[in-house]
Chain A
Amino acid sequence: MSENIRLYMEDWLYNSGIVGFYNILKESEDEVTIKDNYIEFNPKVLENFEEKYFNYFINIYEETLAWHKIVSFEDFIKYHEDTDLKEFSSNSLDSLNKYITDILKRYIKSNSYVAAYELINSDVDILQLEKDITTIKLNKTQKLEDVLPEVKTTLSKIYKVIDYVKSDEAKRYLAAKNVIYNIIKNAWEGVSFLNRQPKEKDIYVDYRQYFIPPVMEYLGSDKKKFKYNCFTCDSEMKDFKNDLSFLNATGFDVARKTSHVWDFNNDVAVCPICKLIYSCVPAGFTYVYDNGIYINDNSSLSNAIEANKKIKSEILKKHEVTRSLTYRALVKSIQEQFTENMKYELTDIQVVRYENSKYRFNILTRDILDLIHKSKNSLNSLISAGYKEVNTYFNIYDLVIDSLFNTQNLFLIIHKLLIYKLSTPNDCYFNGLQLFNVMNINDKFMRGLGYMEKIDSEKDIVKDGNMQGYFLRKEYKEKKAESKLSGIAYRLLNALKVNSKDMFMDTLLNCYLYVRKPVPQIILEGLKDDVAFKTIGYAFVSGLIEGKENTNNGGDSNVK
Chain B
Amino acid sequence: MRYSVELLLENEVLPKDKNRIILSLLKHNFKSYDKEYYQELYEDTSNKVKPFTFSLYMGNCKFLKEEINIPDKKIILNYSTNDLRNGIIFYNSMLQNRGKAYSIKNNSVKVNKINLLNEKTIMDDAVVFRTMSPISVREHNGDNKKTWYHTLNDENGKEIFMNNLTFQLLNEFGEERILDFREIEVIVLGNKEVKIKNYDIEVLGNICKLKIKAKPYILYYLYKAGIGSMRSSGFGMVDIV
Question: A513 to B96, Cβ gap below 8 A?
Answer: no
Q: List 7 A-B contacts (CB under 8 A).
A: A505-B1, A505-B87, A506-B116, A509-B88, A513-B91, A513-B116, A516-B95
In the assembled complex, B89 has its CB within 8 A of some CB on chain A: yes
- The yes or no answer to A523 lying at the interface (CB within 8 A) is yes
| Interchain nearest-CB distance for B176 vs A (Å) | 20
Query: Is there contact, CB below 8 Å, between B116 and A518?
Result: no
As a 0/1 sequence over residues 515 to 551 of chain A, the CB contacts with chain B under 8 angstroms (1 = contact) are 0111100011001000000000000000000000000
A80 interface residue, CB < 8 Å from B? no
Residues of chain B touching chain A, judged by Cβ–Cβ distance below 8 Å, are 1, 84-85, 87-89, 91-92, 95-96, 114-116, 119
- Give me the interface of A with B, judged by CB distance under 8 Å: 501-502, 505-506, 509-510, 512-513, 516-519, 523-524, 527
Q: Separation in Å of the B27 CB from the closest CB of chain A?
A: 19
Q: Are A519 and B115 in contact (CB under 8 A)?
A: no
B89 contact set on A, CB distance < 8 A:
524
- Measured in the bound complex, the distance between the Cα atoms of B92 and A527 in whole Å is 15
- CB atoms of A524 and B85 under 8 A apart: yes
Other A-B pairs beyond A502-B84, A513-B115, 14, CB < 8 Å = A505-B87, A506-B116, A509-B1, A509-B87, A509-B88, A509-B116, A510-B116, A513-B114, A518-B92, A523-B88, A524-B85, A524-B89, A527-B84, A527-B85
Contact of A524 among B1, B88, B95, B119 (CB under 8 A): B88
- Please state if A505 and B115 are interface contacts (CB–CB under 8 Å): no
Provide the bound-state CA to CA distance between A501 and B116, in Å: 16
Given contacts A505-B1, A506-B1, A518-B96, contact A512 B91 (CB under 8 A): yes
Give the CA-CA distance A523 to B89 in the complex, in Å. 11
Q: How far is the CA of A527 from the CA of B114 in the complex (A)?
A: 22
Contacting residues, chain B, for A519 (C-beta < 8 A): 88, 91-92
Q: Is A518's CB under 8 angstroms from B95's CB?
A: yes
Q: Which residues of A contact B114 (CB under 8 A)?
A: 513
Q: How far is the CA of A4 from the CA of B141 in the complex (A)?
A: 93
CA distance A506 to B95 in the complex (A): 17
Residues of A within 8 A of B115 (CB): 513
Q: How far does the Cβ of B90 sit from chain A's closest Cβ, in whole Å?
A: 10
Give the residue name and chain of the B residue nearest to A509 (CB). Answer: B116
A509 / chain B contacts, CB cutoff of 8 Å:
1, 87-88, 91, 116
* B79 shortest CB reach to chain A, Å: 13
* Smallest CB-CB A-B distances: 7 pairs: A518-B92, A519-B88, A527-B85, A505-B84, A518-B95, A527-B84, A509-B116
Chain A: CB-nearest residue to B224? A502
- Cβ distance A540 to chain B, nearest Cβ, rounded Å: 14
CA distance A524 to B37 in the complex (A): 12
In the assembled complex, how far is the CB of residue A362 from the closest CB belonging to chain B, in whole angstroms? Answer: 39
CA distance A297 to B125 in the complex (A): 60
A86→B115 CA distance, assembly (Å) = 78
Could you say which residues of chain A place their CB within 8 Å of the CB of B96? 518
Nearest CB of chain A from residue B99's CB, rounded to whole Å = 11
Chain A nearest Cβ from B47, distance in angstroms: 24
